[in-house]
Structure formats: C-alpha cells, structure tokens
Amino acid sequence: MKLLVTGGLGFIGSNFIIKNLAKHQDWEITNLDAMFYGSNNKNLKRIENNQNYKFVKGNIVDNNLIKKLISENEIIINFAAESFVDRSILDAKPFLDSNVNGVFTILENIKNSEKKFLHISTDEVYGSLTKESAKENFRFNPSSPYSATKAAAELLINAYQKTYDCNCMITRCTNNYGPNQFPEKFIPKSIILANLNKKIPIYGTGKNIRDWLFVDDHCDAISSVLEKGESGKSYNISGNNEIDNLTIVNKILSLMGKSTDLIEYVEDRPGHDFRYSMDSSLIRNEIGWKPKVEFEKGLEKTIQWYLDNKEWWQEYFNIILEDMPWKKES
C-alpha cells in the first residue's frame, strides 16, 4: 500500500510513520514536509534509510507537486498544519495558507477520483464547553484563528465529499503528548523548564481543562480509521483524561522531584478556551478502538524521553523561554 503523509516531520506525523513502517512491511510511505515551524528532521533520522520511506521537501499548497505525489499514492493522510495557537494570535496568515489553502490543494487533486483522503483535525473546532462532551455532529464554535482554520478546512472537505463524491474521512483528536512533541507545547515546555529549574508560566489561573491522549494511542486510532472507517464520516478521538493545566504541572513537578515554587502565573492569552471535551463513543463502538496508555504512565515515559534527548530540544532554547509568545515576534 502506498501512502502520502503530509507534515510527517511534525510530532504526530513522525510518530505515525515510525510506528507503521515497523508494523506494516508492505506499506510504502512518502513524507511531504515543508520543514516550517514545528518540523524537525531529527524525528525521522532513524528511518531515513528505510527502503519503504521517501522524504520530499515541499509545500502542500504547491499544486504541481501535490498532483504528482497524489498520482503516485493510493492514500493521503494530512497531518500538515500550523498548530501553535498562541502564534496564530500573533499572525494568522500562515495558518490560512497551510490549514485551508493546503487542504484545498489536496481536494482539488482528489476530486472525482477513488483516492482515499484522511484529514487530521482537532477538538478545538468545537470551542469551549461547559459540562457537555461534543459528539461528531456538535456545532463548530472555534475561538482562535488556528481553530477557525481547522474548522474551515473541515467544512471544505465536507463540501467536496458531497459535490465531487470524494473518499474523505476526518479525525478530531484531543490534546496529544509524548516523544518528539515540539518543545513550545505545554507538557514538553513544562518538563524542560522544570529540568532547568526555571519558572514555568501558567496562563491565568491554570484551571483550563484539556483531555490528554498519548501519541501512540492517537496513531493507533488513525490506523484503525484508515482500515475500518466509513467514507464521509468524522471520528472523535479522546483519551478520557480531562485535567486542568495546573494539575498537569504539579504532576510533572512531583514526578521530577521539583518544587512548586517553579510555577509562575502569567497573563492569560486572548480567547483562551476554558474546557475541551469530546465523546468518542463512535470510534469505540463502530471501529473498536480505545486508548491503552494510562495518563500517568504516559507522562512518566514522556518526561524520561525529554531528559534522555536534550540534544533534540536544546536548539529551541530561546523559544522554550518565551512565557507569552503571542505578544512578540518569533
């Protein structure tokens, strides 16, 4: 089976490629990545000589390149996205280019064909929730430029599905954590700052709630949807680990034997959603997927990975130290 994976040098994409090349000897994966912010070629260093893996540097808005690569592959999985919410507040244009125009380019090249397209989306399209958990038909209510572009991409996919009979599926996942996650993200940033005995910025009160899923479980869910998912459907992928940010940092500090004095409360970012929550009964009941990694076990594994791989994140030191990145140019 031949797959085109876009954004495969990022966090989730790289984990997906490594996991599935090891599992499926008959898979041939072409990885298209523009090597923009958040990509890291170290993520796939271990497989660069794998005969079933090919890397292509390029952008998903490049129509000629996308047309060629899609013609050579049976399945397209789109991980490519600008995903740093704080930076979408600073400058939304790169998010529109990648997250909307990039998806449009893919759709234009699969319409009226039998190519299978799986788009990786986010729980953030539903916006902030109070007590309920969003099912797949829940209304979109994005709060940030990032989540608005992800919602727009989904609407475009649904329109192409209906108009051109495209073979499309969408997965929406809760917050991921694990090895290879860009160190600006909340959990790796907290781990690295704790290791350096530097202050860990907590936005607002720290009571914002996210549902956490270990990246291996997410990759398994994506593979399950590829195998058993139904064209035209969207699938929520959740970990059932709703935890507020302050509790997460306290867990990290406890596991690392560090003092809570490292916590520093800073100004909250604009439009900061209070709670994300999804109902993933559809994928559990229809496809049979469920998460395997308990949160604390996954967190321990993640902490150890960042402690063992300092050379991986040291080049991002200045980014890690930024406490409110939406306020200044990177």
Residue bearing tokens 């912010």: 37
C-alpha distances out from residue 147 to 23, 240, 306, Å: 32, 21, 28
C-alpha distances out from residue 279 to 239, 283, 285, Å: 10, 9, 11
Q: Which residue in the list 28, 124, 154, 217 is annotated as catalytic?
A: 124
What is the side-by-side strand order in the sheet with 242-244? 175-177, 209-214, 242-244
Whether residue 146 lies in the annotated active site:
yes
Report the distance separating Cα 167 and Cα 245, nearest Å.
Answer: 38
Q: Which residue in the list 86, 123, 217, 273 is annotated as catalytic?
A: 123
Residue 271, by phi and psi: left (phi above 0), alpha (psi -120 to 50) or beta? left
Q: Do residues 154 and 170 lie in contact, with contact meaning Cβ atoms separated by under 8 Å?
A: yes
Q: Do residues 120 and 80 lie in contact, with contact meaning Cβ atoms separated by under 8 Å?
A: no
Rounded to a whole number of angstroms, the distance between the first and last alpha carbons of the chain is: 40
Q: How far is CA 308 from the centre of its chain?
A: 23
Whether residue 308 lies in the annotated active site:
no
Whether residue 294 lies in the annotated active site:
no
C-alpha atoms less than 13 angstroms from C-alpha of 122 in its C-beta half-sphere: 29
3-state SS record for 67-126: HHHHHCCCEEEECCCCCCHHHHHHCCHHHHHHHHHHHHHHHHCCCCCCCEEEEEEEHHHH
Q: Which residue in the list 33, 53, 126, 146 is annotated as catalytic?
A: 146
- Dmax (CA) for the chain in angstroms is 59
Q: Which backbone phi and psi does 241 adopt, to 5 degrees? A: -130, 70
Which residue numbers are catalytic? 123-124, 146
